[in-house]
Amino acid sequence: MLQLEQLTLNIPDTTKPRVVIIGGGFGAVNLTKNLPDEQFQVVMLSKQNYHGFWPLLYQVATAGLEPESIAEPIRKLFDDHKDFHFRFTRVNSINPAAKTVSTVIGDVPYDYLVIATGTKSNYFGNEQIKQNAFGLKHLSDAINLRSQLLQSFEQANLTKNPEARRSLLNIVIAGAGPTGVELAGSLAEMRQHVLPRDYPGMDFREMNIYLVDGLDRVLPPMSPESSRHTHGYLEKLGVIIKLNKFVESYDGQTVKFKDGEEIRSQTLVWAAGVAGATIEGLPAETVERGRYLVNTFNQVQGFTDVFAIGDVAVMKSEKWPKGHPQVAQPAIQQGVHLAKNLVRKLRGDEWKPFSYFDKGSLAIVGRARAVADLPGKKSLSGFIAWVAWLFVHIYYLVGFRNKLIVMANWVYRFFTYQRGTRIIIQPYVNSEDKAAQEYVRLQTVD
Ligand SMILES: Cc1cc2nc3c(=O)[nH]c(=O)nc-3n(C[C@H](O)[C@H](O)[C@H](O)COP(=O)(O)OP(=O)(O)OC[C@H]3O[C@@H](n4cnc5c(N)ncnc54)[C@H](O)[C@@H]3O)c2cc1C
């Protein structure tokens, strides 16, 4: 490996306007796709070298999909763009006076800056939970969680101590939004169809899946009708739902709630909140509740050449007084719209304000169990919503190869009830038990 001081960003000079984009997610990718190569130089700086399809992340964590099948390398996505320059680096700060952004490797000047950094997990300032809980925001999180779950099952199969076994088999998911719901449903189906075959000597009635939320219903962003259906589906699958419940602390062994209840568990999954991934450098008044305040052209308040799109931006309007929901569609649509406005600007045409086309929302609980809120306040549930969920996710998944692999996995799973990727990759041991650690170490030494 080279030392940092031996590295340089190596971005070619240009006479075209340079658009620097921070991030490689839904917003950034759709913006880049729509910026004509001959008119702009595009520099994309991202701390991941891939574009991740996060709606399917929970399936990686529950051994249903290979990690690579829900991600596409950024360089491959734009290998036909001649003036596109990807740099695999984190942006640490923005200097709007000098019109540069700073990375550990160096500074990059911009004509237009687009911040498309999405969100990060929000632990509401609780460092202990942050240290001990499992997040689900990146591919590495999903692989880590998968390893943790599989190792817990392996260890539970090896212990004769019922207390220890229950603590290994208790899974607590904090946050009953789409991620928490989908994860809980998937784990419950795994418990029903996969684990008893893998561990014939174990009684999986001892495995509890808890879904907890501080609010009074599951899927709070969706309609009450969809919440009600989802609640029913989850209960049928045996998920224990605890509402109006706040996690207070977690030391890696015991989840403690504000009302005094405690659950012994080696696995707490944190899906309870996100905050915008803002970057140092812009004035404090540009940020509201962790998101950049933008106007209808996605310009960050007070700037004409700095834009924010997607989850990290909050564009308030009469219809969306708190901004758009932090889901993929606003990011995709804002990316496409901003590209068109930048082209308009070059032509000397008027900019057009962004208007969000709400295509509705979907969530899946399990086989033939899903819910959909359609535009016009209509809701669907059950098999039809499930089929719609499958089609929409395949449609938006990036890359033909990924679509094929994911579809093949789903068909295989539908007919066999199997999950193909029950592989422990990382020797992760969330246990202070030395013998358990030694057991895992022995499985991983050369
Ligand atoms: C587990 C999970 C499940 C979800 N399920 C759904 C769903 O079912 N339906 C739905 O519509 N939405 C879903 N979402 C939300 C959806 O993924 C987001 O709304 C969408 O990704 C937002 O796009 P974005 O471009 O704003 O950010 P992202 O797609 O998150 O991209 C952010 C990018 O910025 C990069 N980055 C961040 N900080 C820096 C930095 N300082 N320097 C360099 N690069 C940086 C990241 O590496 C990443 O490439 C889900 C999200 C998660 C995490």
DSSP 235-288: HHTT-EEE-S--EEEE-SSEEEETTS-EEE-SEEEE-S-EEE---BTS-GGGEE
DSSP-derived 3-state class of residue 91: strand
Residues 12 and 113 in one domain: yes
Any ligand 1 atom below 6 A from CB of 49: no
The parent domain of residue 106 ranges over: 4-47+89-121+275-347
> Nearest Cα to 11, choosing from 52, 43, 48, 51?
43
Convert the pLDDT of each residue in 340-395 to its tens digit. Answer: 999 999 999 999 999 999 999 999 999 999 999 998 888 999 999 999 999 999 99
Q: Average pLDDT of 311-328?
A: 96
Any ligand 1 atom below 6 A from CB of 359: no
Residue 55 domain flag: no
Residue 19, strand partner residues:
42, 112
Give the DSSP H or E segment for 75.
helix 74-77
Tell how far the Cα of 118 is from the centroid of ligand 1, in angstroms: 5
407 token code pair: 């579809």
Residue 2 pLDDT exceeds 90: no
C-beta of residue 209 within 8 angstroms of C-beta of residue 188: yes
Any ligand 1 atom below 6 A from CB of 27: yes
pLDDT at 4: 74
Q: Which of 91, 326, 327, 396 to mutate to test ligand 1, by most ligand atoms within 8 A of the CB atom? A: 327
pLDDT at 375: 86
* Model confidence band, residue 417 (pLDDT cutoffs 50, 70, 90): confident
Q: Note the Cα 257 to chain centre separation in Å.
A: 25
Chosen domain end from 301, 322, 347: 347
Give the DSSP H or E segment for 405.
helix 400-416
Residues 149 and 240 in one domain: yes
Give the DSSP H or E segment for 332.
helix 328-347
Residue 269 pLDDT exceeds 70: yes
Residue 141 pLDDT exceeds 80: yes
Tell how far the Cα of 161 is from the centroid of ligand 1, in angstroms: 41
Residue 214 pLDDT exceeds 80: yes
Residues 21 and 115 in one domain: yes
Residue 232 domain flag: yes
Chosen domain end from 347, 369, 389: 347
Residues 260 and 332 in one domain: no
Residue 389 domain flag: yes
Residues 339 and 211 in one domain: no
Alpha-carbon distances, residue 73 vs 139, 219, 318, 402 (angstroms): 13, 32, 38, 11
Percent of the chain with pLDDT over 90: 87
C-beta of residue 107 within 8 angstroms of C-beta of residue 79: no
140 token code pair: 């590495």
Any ligand 1 atom below 6 A from CB of 330: no
Residue 75 domain flag: no
If you take atom 30 of ligand 1, which residue's CA is the nearest one? 118
Residues 117 and 246 in one domain: no
* Model confidence band, residue 439 (pLDDT cutoffs 50, 70, 90): low
DSSP-derived 3-state class of residue 344: helix
> Nearest Cα to 334, choosing from 102, 23, 2, 12?
23
Q: Average pLDDT of 162-166?
A: 94
Chosen domain end from 347, 371, 386: 347
Number of domains comprising the chain: 2
Residues 238 and 145 in one domain: yes
C-beta of residue 366 within 8 angstroms of C-beta of residue 186: yes
Residue 140 domain flag: yes
DSSP-derived 3-state class of residue 378: strand
Residue 77 domain flag: no
C-beta of residue 123 within 8 angstroms of C-beta of residue 270: yes
If you take atom 15 of ligand 1, which residue's CA is the nearest one? 327
pLDDT at 5: 75
Residues 245 and 137 in one domain: yes
pLDDT at 273: 87
Tell how far the Cα of 30 is from the centroid of ligand 1, in angstroms: 13
260 token code pair: 């005094």
Catalytic one among 5, 38, 127, 182? 182
Name the residue type at position 272: A
Tell how far the Cα of 271 is from the centroid of ligand 1, in angstroms: 14
Q: Which atom of ligand 1 is nearest to the CA of 118?
A: 27
Residue ranges with strand state E in 154-227: 171-174, 209-212
What is the C-alpha separation between 244 and 254, in angstroms, rounded? 19
pLDDT at 316: 97
What is the C-alpha separation between 413 and 410, in angstroms, rounded? 5
Residue 24 belongs to domain with CATH number:
3.50.50.60
Label residue 9 exposed, middle or buried (CB < 10 Å: 0-12, 13-18, 19+): middle
If you take atom 52 of ligand 1, which residue's CA is the nearest one? 54
What is the C-alpha separation between 222 and 149, in angstroms, rounded? 29
pLDDT at 423: 81
- Higher-pLDDT residue of 411, 420: 411
Residues 131 and 204 in one domain: yes
Tell how far the Cα of 27 is from the centroid of ligand 1, in angstroms: 9
Token pair 């701390």: residue: 47
Q: What are phi and psi of 70, to 5 degrees?
A: -115, 20
Q: Would residue 182 show up in a list of annotated catalytic residues for this protein?
A: yes
Any ligand 1 atom below 6 A from CB of 48: yes
C-beta of residue 9 within 8 angstroms of C-beta of residue 108: yes
Q: Which atom of ligand 1 is nearest to the CA of 48?
A: 47
Residue 444 pLDDT exceeds 90: no
Residues 165 and 253 in one domain: yes
Q: Which atom of ligand 1 is nearest to the CA of 117?
A: 34
What is the C-alpha separation between 60 and 58, in angstroms, rounded? 5
Residue 249 belongs to domain with CATH number:
3.50.50.100
Any ligand 1 atom below 6 A from CB of 373: no
Residues 239 and 134 in one domain: yes
pLDDT at 39: 96
What is the C-alpha separation between 24 and 248, in angstroms, rounded? 34
Residues 322 and 173 in one domain: no
Residue 56 domain flag: no
For 427, half-sphere exposure in the C-beta direction (CA atoms, 13 angstrom radius) is 11
Q: Which of 9, 20, 21, 26 to mutate to test ligand 1, by most ligand atoms within 8 A of the CB atom? A: 26
Q: Average pLDDT of 144-161?
A: 94
> Nearest Cα to 299, choosing from 351, 336, 348?
351
Tell how far the Cα of 432 is from the centroid of ligand 1, in angstroms: 33
If you take atom 38 of ligand 1, which residue's CA is the nearest one? 117
What is the C-alpha separation between 238 and 189, in angstroms, rounded? 9
Residue 241 domain flag: yes
C-beta of residue 159 within 8 angstroms of C-beta of residue 206: no
> Nearest Cα to 413, choosing from 141, 143, 190, 180?
190
Give the DSSP H or E segment for 362.
strand 361-366
Tell how far the Cα of 51 is from the centroid of ligand 1, in angstroms: 9
What is the C-alpha separation between 332 and 88, in angstroms, rounded? 22
